Structures are given as structure tokens and as C-alpha cells.
Structure 1
Amino acid sequence: MRDRFANPYTIHEIMKGFKVLMFILCSTGVFAQEDVYHGTKETIPKIPPKDEKIRTVIVSDAKNEIDDVWAIALAILSPEKFQIEGFVGSNYDHVFGVGSKSISGSVSVIETILDKAGLKGKYPVYRGSHPMQYQFEPSHSEGVDFIIEKAMEGSGENPLWVIGLGSATDLASAYLKEPKIADRVIFFWHGRTENTWPYRAHNYNVKGDMHAARILFHSPVPLVLFDTGTNLSAGTMEESKEHVEPFGELGKYLYEYRFKSEYWQGTKKGFFDLGDIAVLVDPELGKWEETICPTVTTYMDYNFYKTNGKFLRCRKVQRDGTFQMLYSKLREHQAARE
């Protein structure tokens, strides 16, 4: 017979129970992430109809990848859809360690695209921020201040669409620096996790600034997650030579940009960010769903135990319709200039 005061459980049983408790606490976010949130997302964005124009600032790590270059071209060729307030060149980094030079590189490429399109000086282009150093401290830059300025000129009825094609630094920092923009902006962010949804927030743009990426999910700012684009191959070089290269300096620039990388010349390279712009110009090119907004752990796992309202997710984009849109607009642009 056991002593009434003796521990009725073995060490093995105690440790097993402790492990279960720790799993529950971590899964629900008690230890996996801080219980510091800025407010529940109460507005689920609605993508404006095809014939409705939107105010926008485009934030892009344009020097980093060819898809940004082609995406920006499509945006500036779509004045019927976008009232572009300006651009922000954002940070990026990779195995070659571009680091602090990335921001000026992005600005330079954006300015070159505008020049090739005959739009030099039409839109302001600002330098964005370096990645956030601390979880809730904004990273300051002229680009962040510009986003805030343009957001505060809007309203809930006429919000500023901040299209983020790169790291989330400038979007998150704008909110952290001026939380009042929350009901005056919509963040449309390329956070492509189609291969890991709904388990992990794992993509290049998250890698660029994990603190900032988490803020997009944890803040009350209305969010559209562009979660697709792997299928957006530009096709063969012959296709680009026929439909892109002949149409002015911009077309030639886009075509020749593919020669910067052997991989970009192949048919397996996704022109991911082109899809972000295409589905805003014509929402029927995308497949959309309203979904619960997870929080994101410090390990970049989606956490559906502790959620934050809902957001809009684009989960699929048509390849042919996207590229045909670009081809058509390149032809129209060149015809208008002749």
C-alpha cells in the first residue's frame, strides 16, 4: 500500500505530462510567440472591380529578380487601374551578400524602367528601409515616410493600396511608425507560401525581414496575401522575342533582362510578382478566398490556435491571361508613342 503522502507518479509519468503541457503551450502561442498584438483585423479587403481605379504605392526589390521588373512594367502600363502615387525601392539579401547596397540598386532599376517607358520623372521613387532590427521597432526611411504621407491623405472609403513585391519592411515600419494608417491602407503583399500553406510562412520575402512579415499578420491593417505565382513562366525566349522585344525601348529592356541569367531564359523560372499586378488589373485572373488570418511564430510557422481576424488570399493565378495582358499593353503603349 502506498504512503498517502508519497508521490503517486513516477518520474517518467511526470516528465511525460510536462512534455504534453509544453506542447500545448507552444502550440497555442504562449511560448512560441509574444502575446503582444496591435489589434484584430476587422476589415476583409475586397478587390476592386476591373473598371475601378485604385491609389497605390508600389514597394519593390526591383534589382533582385526579373519578375519585379516585368511586374512594374505592367503596373505603369495600366493607368486605367492604378493611380500610382510613387515607388519605394526595398531591401533584399541573398547568398552573394548584396545587403545595404540592395536599396539603391532597387531604386536605380525602378528609375530605369520608368525611363525606358518614357515616364522619367513622372513618379517619385524613394529609398526604403533596412530590415527591422527589433520586433516592434520600425526601420526609418524616406520611403516609409512617403507611405505614411500618402496613406494619411486617404480614408476608409478611398484607401491607399500598398503593393509589396519584396520584403515587408517598409509596409510594417509604416504601420509601426504611424498606427493611424491602419484604417486608411490595404497591404497587398507577395508572401508566396503556396507550397507550405497552411503550415509555414516560408518564402524569400519572409526571409528578407521576418520581424516585418509577422507584423503584417499581427496588425489590424487589412491584408491581401498573394500566395501563388510559381506557374508564371514567361515561356521560351522565342515567345518573348515575338511578344515583348519589338515594342519600344521598354519591350527591348524586358526581353534583354532575361539574358542576365541563364535560369531566367528557361521555362521553369516563375515570374511570380507579375501575377500580383495582373490580378489587381483583372481580378478574374485569380482565385480568391477569405480565410482566417493566422499569427506567425518566431519559427515562421502559421499558428491557427491564436488567430487575428481574417484576410483575403489569392491562391491561384492564370498564366496565359497574365502574359497576354502584358503583351497587349506593350503593343498599345508603343502604338500610342508612334
Structure 2
Amino acid sequence: MTQPTWTLGRTPWISDDDAHPGPRCRVIVDNDFSGDPDDLFQVVHHVLSPSVDIRAIIGSHLRPGDPFDGGPTTAANAVARLRELFAVMGLDAEDRIVQGSDVALVDRTTPQDTPAARAIIAEAMRADVDTPLYVVCGGGLTDLASAWLLEPAISDRLTVVWIGGPEHPGLAAEPPGVTDPEYNLAIDVVAGQVLFNDADLPLWQVPRNMYRQCLVSDIELRRRVATRGALGRFLYDALGGVDRFVRASGALRAETYALGDSPLVLLTALQSYFQPDTSSSDHVVVPAPRLTDDGDAEPRADGRPIRVYTRLDTRLMFEDMFGKLEAFAQWRAQA
């Protein structure tokens, strides 16, 4: 039996009685889909969320020599992985897929002028819509920083939500055995310096101590993901690749996995009904630290105010993901 296809903006797995009135914000997703498979869970969750209008999905690059994908064409590989995922979902979203830069910034003033950077600018500068725009980044910041370098006026027209960066002094301690710079920041430290030191972009940051809290257990994944049709099996098998790598390295496997990019969905699609905001999670507003060339964050009193999240509503985030995967699988099975 031929499986049905669908397009963004449609939610055929939601019955008429439960239909959502429509998107409340626009989202551009920027992630390194050939890397840690937590980004696959994030983008699936986002495209299954009717309250967001997904305007573009950028496949971005990894750090050279990354253990997930050593390169040198990791942005192109990210786009290929995204297309593979959407084929499993029956999602026709080719018009929203954009390839980012395959390389990091060379300095803090020279952008990588890519279709991805131009897509961010084009959506930010639209004059025909007034819904909030979020650029949500689950990896490096090359394309976002390039967009700002090409057109600084986007600062007044979007909010950046970034998963990455080290712990802030006084808010959390570094985990044991940590490597610096933090994983996502290490992809492009110069782009991080543009965002923190130079740009005036509104920023909501989910630093390392927060994304490490986004743990799901293997039994949850087996029962509530792997059993949800071809899509659920694809997602679970993607984590199996990580498990095989860990076993081969001689490390001991764990019963949990961090789906650390999922807060990108929580903080955009799952905002409160009244006075829309991230009301089920906690944050503090602090001056943006200054990033050094080594990726260290130096506190400074004169940094622009940014949000730093200190508690995430993981119950809401993961129960919503599990529920949407179940509803989607049931629709695909009945169609």
C-alpha cells in the first residue's frame, strides 16, 4: 500500500475536532543533521507541531574531523540526511530545505554568503507578516552569524534560540571530564564571537548544563518511539548507530540518551496559551559574556541582556513529542 504524502502547514493526523487554529510564530531551523541524531528528533517534533510555521530548514556543518561525520561536506550530508528522514515521513518539504556553509567563518567580519544566510535575511526582512520569527540553532552558528554580517538590520526582526555554550559562572558547574570549547560552540568559535561579542541579536541560550538534562531512557525510546511505525523505527535506529560507536570505543553504554536539541521545540512551539512565552521553563537575564578565541566565556557587565535558561519543562517537551509520534503513526497506519 502506498503511503500518503503531506506538506508543511497540514496536520492530517489531527482530527477536525482537535484542529489547531494555526501557527503563532515562524521558525527557521538550523541544525547539523549529519551529526548527533538528537537533531532528527528535534526536526520531526517541530514539523509535527501545528503552532509553528516552518519557513526554512538549514542543514549546517560540523567541526572538521567530527566523530559523527568527519567531513568535508557535512552541510551537504546534513541536507541528504534530512531528505532521507522526510522520505520516511512522506513529507514533501523540498522547497524549505536549504544547505548552509560547509566551512566556518574565517574572521569576525567576513560572512559565508550562502543560500542559508540569505534565507534567514529574506524571512526576517519580510513586511507582509507580523508573527514572531525564531531562528533556532542546534549546532554551530556560521549561517546565522553570516546573515547578521550581511544584513545587521535583522537584529530587530528575529530571536535566536541556541543550544550550546558552556556553563555560566554562578549558575552551574562544568560536568566531569568536559572538553572545551563546548561541542556546538567548537563547530565555529568565530561565529560564536560574532553572536556574543559583536551582534545585537536577541538571544535565548540553552547552555550545556541545560541540554544535558534532556534525558530519555532506553525503555521509553523502545516503547514510545521504536514502536511508532517507520518513522519511530528510523529515529530509534539512528540512536543505535551511536550505541555501536560507543561499544566499539570500549566505553560503557548508558540507559539514557540526551535529546539535547529538543528545547528548540519547547521554547517555540510549546509556549503558553495566554501571554505567549516560555512560561513552563525558567530563565535568568544576564549580560552576554565575551567569548575568547579559545571559546571561554568571560563575564562582563556591559554585555547586552540575554536569556539563559536555568530549568526546562522536560515533562511537557517529551510527552508532547511522544504523543505526536503516536498520533502520526496511527494516521500513517490508517491512511
- Bucket of the pairwise TM-score, normalised by the shorter protein: 0.7 to 0.9
Q: What is residue 30 of structure 1 aligned with on the other side?
A: none
Q: Is 2:201 aligned against 1:221?
A: yes
- Which residues of 2 match residues 238-253 of structure 1 at below 5 A? 238-253=219-234
- Structure 1 residue 108 corresponds to structure 2 residue 83: no
> Which string of whole-angstrom CA distances, capped at 9 and with x for unpartnered residues, describes residues 247-278 of structure 1?
22211211211211214973343211112212
Partner amino acid for 1:169?
Answer: T
- Residue 203 in structure 1 maps to residue 182 in structure 2: yes
The within-5 A match list for 1:58-207 is 58-79=29-50, 81-93=51-63, 94-96=65-67, 98-121=70-93, 123-129=95-101, 130-153=103-126, 157-194=130-167, 202-207=181-186
Amino acid at match of 1:158: T
Structure 1 Cα separation of the partners of residues 162 and 292 of structure 2:
18
**Of 212-221 and 119-128, the range deviating more from structure 2:** 119-128
Asked if structure 1 preserves the Cα contact closer than 8 Å seen for 2:203 and 2:307, the reply is yes
Structure 1 window deviating more from structure 2 (248-257 vs 165-174): it is 248-257
User: What is the CA distance between 1:212 and its match in structure 2?
Assistant: 0.3
Which of 254, 275, 278 matches 1:266? 254
- CA RMSD between the two structures: 2.6
Quickly say closer, same or farther: Cα 1:279–1:186, change in 2 above 3 A. closer
Structure 2 residue identity aligned to 1:303: E
Is the Cα contact below 8 Å between 1:58 and 1:86 reproduced in 2?
yes
CA distance in 2, matches of 1:216, 1:167: 11
| Partners of 1:210 and 1:192 in 2: CA distance | 10
Partner of 1:278: 266
Which residue does the alignment assign to 1:212?
A: 191
Match of 1:53 in 2: 24
Contact 1:233-1:267 at 8 Å conserved across structures: no
TM-score, length of structure 1 as denominator length: 0.77
In the alignment, is the contact (CA less than 8 A) between 1:91 and 1:167 conserved in 2? Answer: yes
Single out whichever of 179-188 and 263-272 deviates more from structure 2.
263-272
Identity of aligned residues (%): 22
**How far off its partner does 1:91 sit?**
0.6
| Residue aligned with 1:57, SS | strand
- Could you state the TM-score of these two structures normalised by the residue count of structure 2? 0.78
Q: Which has the larger radius of gyration?
A: 1
Structure 1: 5+ residue stretches without partners: 1-50
Aligned residue number for residue 232 of structure 1: 214
Please list every run of 5 or more consecutive structure 2 residues that lacks an aligned counterpart in the other structure. 1-21, 175-179, 248-252, 271-277
In the alignment of these two chains, the number of paired residues is: 286
Off by >3 Å, runs of 4+ in structure 1: 94-97, 154-159, 194-202, 263-266, 318-321
Three-state SS of the structure 1 residue aligned to 2:305 is: strand
Q: CA deviation at 1:195?
A: 7.3
Worse overlay, 264-273 or 176-185 = 264-273
Q: Do the aligned partners of 2:163 and 2:211 also contact (CA within 8 Å) in 1?
A: no
